[in-house]
């Protein structure tokens, strides 16, 4: 039997895990190219940092958690910093189906900060339309992330500018200056983001034990009350990155959006969701 087939058989799908919809969320990472989005995702999933730069088209990851007797699923969409489409259509697929957002910019690149401002406004406008709220006033769990804080270079974005931007944002919005290279302030950033979204803090990398694909059955054991496993986080929280995760289709995303908004958005046909 091929190794890939063996792992797929060993690791249960989300349907086999019977994860309730309320425990399924999508994290979307947005920002200009070369600001460190993929490096942040890599730190979150594996704890590693890669020096080599490879442009991202779009990467999709899925992580399962067993936390305090419940299973959770977190989908992570690492988007491209290159936008071939006009600005109004950049978030056509990522924003509506996203539940929590990280907007990344580089502290030594003003253009990337200005792009983060535009993306923030587009997210709020799109979510407001879907939820039938005044334009730009949707309450969306969102973190502005100033990356490359380890660089000894000329700083082009000052904290006061970011605070001013946050002043016009939703209540659930925060700012962190981080270094993906040095793994600095990333864990507090994720903890704050998950807290704003009402998700368990144990989803943060430092608060659960990472399991490899060969130990997927541990998620079932955690729920069945089987032999306890030594866990690195409080309450024996476990997490595992699903191998071979496939991004849901745009059609699936739209169905998900429809379920989330229900009948709230009277003008939903005018929203940029396709």
CATH number at residue 129: 3.40.50.300
Distance (Å, rounded) from C-alpha 183 to C-alpha 181? 6
Q: Is the dihedral of CA 144, 173, 187, 48 positive or negative?
A: negative
- What pLDDT does residue 274 have? 29
Distance (Å, rounded) from C-alpha 10 to C-alpha 80? 32
The total of structural domains in the chain comes to: 1
Distance (Å, rounded) from C-alpha 202 to C-alpha 204? 5
Residue 7 pLDDT exceeds 90: no
Residue 27 pLDDT exceeds 70: yes
Helix (H, G, I), strand (E, B) or coil at 220: helix
Tokens of 29: 């990472």
Tokens of 263: 């009948």
Between 150 and 188, the more confident residue is: 188
Q: How many CB atoms lie within 10 A of CB 8?
A: 15
The verdict on residue 18 lying in a domain is: no
How many Å separate Cα 33 from the centre of its chain?
17
The verdict on residue 3 lying in a domain is: no
Residue 184 pLDDT exceeds 80: yes
Tokens of 43: 């730190």
Distance (Å, rounded) from C-alpha 23 to C-alpha 199? 8
The verdict on residue 4 lying in a domain is: no
The verdict on residue 10 lying in a domain is: no
> Residue 148's domain spans which residues?
24-270
The verdict on residue 14 lying in a domain is: no
Q: How confident is the model at residue 190 (pLDDT cuts 50, 70, 90)?
A: very high
Between 28 and 221, the more confident residue is: 28
The verdict on residue 226 lying in a domain is: yes
Between 122 and 6, the more confident residue is: 122
The verdict on residue 6 lying in a domain is: no
């Amino acid at each position: 039997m091929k190794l890939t087939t063996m792992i797929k058989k060993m690791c249960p799908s989300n349907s086999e895990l019977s994860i309730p919809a309320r425990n399924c969320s999508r994290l979307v990472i947005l920002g200009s190219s070369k600001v460190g989005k993929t490096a942040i995702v890599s730190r979150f999933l594996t704890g590693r940092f890669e020096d080599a730069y490879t442009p991202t088209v779009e990467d999709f990851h899925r992580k399962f958690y067993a936390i305090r007797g419940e299973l959770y699923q977190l989908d992570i969409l690492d988007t491209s910093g290159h936008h071939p489409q006009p600005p109004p259509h950049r978030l056509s697929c990522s924003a509506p189906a996203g539940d929590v957002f990280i907007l990344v910019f580089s502290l030594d690149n003003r253009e990337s900060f200005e792009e983060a401002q535009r993306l923030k406004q587009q997210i709020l406008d799109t979510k407001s339309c879907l939820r039938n709220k005044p334009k730009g006033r949707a309450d969306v769990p969102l973190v502005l992330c100033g990356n490359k804080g380890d660089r000894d270079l000329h700083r082009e974005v000052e904290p006061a500018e970011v605070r001013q931007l946050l002043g016009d944002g939703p209540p659930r919005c925060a700012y962190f200056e981080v270094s993906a290279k040095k793994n600095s302030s990333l864990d507090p950033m994720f903890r704050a983001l998950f807290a704003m979204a009402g998700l368990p803090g144990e989803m943060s990398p430092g608060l659960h034990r990472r399991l490899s694909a060969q130990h997927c059955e541990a998620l079932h054991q955690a729920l069945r009350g089987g032999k306890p496993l030594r866990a690195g986080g409080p309450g024996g929280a476990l997490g595992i990155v699903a191998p071979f995760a496939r991004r849901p289709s745009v059609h699936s995303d739209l169905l998900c959006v429809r379920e989330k908004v229900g009948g709230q958005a009277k003008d939903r046909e005018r929203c940029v969701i396709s």
